[in-house]
Structure formats: C-alpha cells, structure tokens
Amino acid sequence: MKEAQKAKDTANKRLHEAGQTYGELLAQTVPLRVEIAELKDAVETSKAKLKSIEDRCVTQEVKLGEVEGALNAKTEAFDLLQADFSKLRAETDEALAELASQAERFKKIEQELVDDAVSTFADGFTEALAQAVCANPRIDVFCCGPLNHIVDGKVVPLEIPED
C-alpha cells in the first residue's frame, strides 16, 4: 500500500505540475489569442487599404491612359500643324523671292521708262528749237537746252540737287 500511496502521491504531484504547466500555457494562450485577433483585424484593415490602393491604382491607370491618348492626339495635331507651318513657310519664301524678283524687274522697267521719258523730252526740246529757228532764222539758240532755265532775263544751267 505504501507503494500505491507513493505512486498516488507521485501521480498527484505530476498532475499538479501538469495543471501548473497547463495554467501557465493557458495564461500564455490568452494573450496570444488576443494578439491573433488583433492581427486578424489588422489583416482585414490592411486588406481594405490594399483594396483602396488597388482601386486608386486602377483609376490612375485609366486616367494615365486617357492622358496618354490625349497627348498622342495633341502630338499628332502638332505634327500636322508643324508640317502645315513648314509648307506655309516654304510658300512664303517663294512668294518673297517672287516679290523680290518683281521689284527688281519693276526698278529695271522704271529706269527704262525714265530713260525713255528723258530721251523723248530731249528729242522734243531739240525739235522745238529746230522749229523756232525755222520760224525765226535770226534767233540764236546756241545757249538753249533742256537743262537750262531763265533767271533775271538770262539763260542759265539748272542746279540739280544731288541725291
């Protein structure tokens, strides 16, 4: 019986130690379960935040796509405008060259007309002098010329200002 009592005491002691260990483990389990619950809540919050971030990313990607499309359209429009500008610039350069050519021809024709008018005037003046001599043979027309004028009753050369 002593041995049975000893075995019973040893068993009770072990049972008590096991109960103590169980109590300690139970005391450790409660905070761990609380921590697990908090972590689960944090996971759910993180999932919600992640979903929100993913939604914003999708929205931003859509907006980015729209902006890229608009940029491409504007770039194409700019390229077309630039091509039109280049074409207009070439046409303007051609028109300016043509105007310069016409101005040069105009100056040449103007000079020819002035020369022709001077020649016609000089020829007409010479013809008028010849007619005056024919009508009045005793007139002295030696000092008369198209570039002279009368000052104080005398024929004197015109003073032509130099340009």
Contacts of 125 (CB under 8 A, 6+ apart): 145, 146
- 28-87 residue pLDDT tens: 887 888 888 999 999 999 999 999 999 999 999 999 999 999 999 999 999 999 999 999
d(CA 146, CA 121): 8
d(CA 93, CA 114): 31
Q: Is the pLDDT of residue 160 over 80?
A: no
d(CA 149, CA 147): 7
pLDDT of residue 62: 93
What is the average per-residue pLDDT within 104-132? Answer: 93
Q: How confident is the model at residue 103 (pLDDT cuts 50, 70, 90)?
A: very high
Are 118 and 147 spatial neighbours (Cβ–Cβ below 8 Å)?
no
pLDDT of residue 162: 74
d(CA 82, CA 111): 43
Are 124 and 146 spatial neighbours (Cβ–Cβ below 8 Å)?
no
d(CA 149, CA 142): 14
d(CA 86, CA 91): 9
Name the residue ranges covered by the structural domains of the chain.
2-157
| Mean per-residue pLDDT over the chain, rounded | 90
pLDDT of residue 163: 63
d(CA 75, CA 68): 10
Q: Is the pLDDT of residue 9 over 80?
A: yes
| pTM above threshold 0.75 | no
